[in-house]
Structure 1
Amino acid sequence: MTRRQTAADAIEPVALPITSFPRDQVLGRLAWIQTAPIAELKNEWRRLYGKEAPPFSRSYITSRLAYRIQELAYGGLKPETRARLEALGEQLDGGNVVLRRIRADSRPLPGTRLIREYDGVQHVVTVRADDFEYEGRPYRSLSAIARHITGTRWNGWTFFGLRPTGGAA
């Protein structure tokens, strides 16, 4: 037995994204983004980007939509600015992809002392510019220190209380 195809069965192609946005509508649209239901935000994403919205949080989607609206209305970054930002990023992390993944504002400042009591013993780690110091030895990651202390695998950021249990950042 075959069933009849309905409109709900048809895959609707995603339209091409819009290429400009009226400047006089920017502020109103930015205000709308803050209160719109997520389903409407995903429709707006399809309209502005020409593809499906990613399965990320509401705050991610709203911030990217706000940027896109302003980009379409006022223009995006100039190629020279984009290239300069890339160069500064390379200088900052030296091309190290591990450092690149760690947001600069989430990493404690060099000189910060992380203190954790485990099995009745207080453990102190000093944050340095490129690594961490524990018991006078350098470690590349907090996870390596947590493994040394506990003998098991731990997320170092969670072990030292820099990230909530469960891995949310």
Structure 2
Amino acid sequence: MTTEGVKARMARAKSARSVSEEGMGAAIAALMNEDRALLLERWRKILRGDPPAHLPTWLFRRVLAYRMQAAVLGDLDRSAVRLLDQIAADHAGRRATGKKLGKKPPPVPSVPRARMNPGTILIREHDRQMHHVTVTTSGFRWNDNEYRSLTEVAFAITGTRWNGPRFFGLRSKSSTSEVER
């Protein structure tokens, strides 16, 4: 990224940062009631440019809400951006060649424990029910209970002993067996 690009990004972030973390929910809720002219004004202030002409209003609001949140809470890290770019490129490549998506979803990259910051939410479907686990400073929170490890959470969900990181898709079977050797 060029120096001008970095400066432009910093200026956008500073402009969008006018909302505090506490007031962000109210500011985003207010977006839902604003007309397109007001949204356009906000877009120009936050993103420093004009939006695409074909952008529907509902998506317009969501992009603004995302940018406001990213300015206050932080944006995606480089590895997440690379992964999303790769997924988009794969999708564009499939569309261009007419290939259909396979039945199997692409593999989810593993996340090292050190990179799971407090506030990270892990989502796992088990027994036709979605489970959301929040990483906290002292461990993990699931169903308003604190747990010291993902293994404890996996046991609470399933009633059987699981490797917690593996249950949540953070570690593949092969990487687990390599560690155990």
The normalised TM-score by structure 2 is 0.41
Q: Which has the higher helix share?
A: 2
TM-score when scaled to structure 1?
A: 0.44
